[in-house]
Amino acid sequence: MCPSLFGGKKEIKAETDKQPDEKIKTNKKESLEDQLKRTILLHILKLRGLNQIASPQNIATQMNQDAGIILAHLNKLHNDQFVTFQTGGLPPTPDTEFFLSPKAFEIININDTQQSA
């Protein structure tokens, strides 16, 4: 075969792996929505840990926010299965107690900083 028919002699270059290294993780900044979600979930965890009612009103008081806004976010978190509540089928109110669902711990990282004895 004549090399001129195929455009001459070409070098074969080894392609570098264009996939990012799986060991290197980039630190993406959380959106404001994600920050608010994490904050609300942490307040529920804190209140439940103190044996206090984790209601929108109590969370709003701690966050210096309006209870209606917190309730709206809790409804969204409930639809996304991060929190749950019990009202016997009625919609939640600012006094409804909310609980974390197991899915919430995908967002909340708990580090045990206490040393074992």
CATH of residue 68: 1.10.10.10
Burial class (CB in 10 A: 0-12, 13-18, 19+), 45: middle
Structure tokens at 105: 């711990």
Q: Is the model's pLDDT at 50 over the cut of 80?
A: yes
Which helix (H) or strand (E) segment holds residue 41: the answer is: helix 32-49
Residue 97 belongs to what domain range? 32-106
In a domain, 74, yes or no: yes
Q: What's the CA gap between 115 and 62, in Å, rounded?
A: 30
pLDDT (tens digit per residue) in 57-92: 999 999 999 999 999 999 999 999 999 999 999 999
In a domain, 17, yes or no: no
Q: Domain tally for the chain?
A: 1
pTM, two decimal places: 0.67
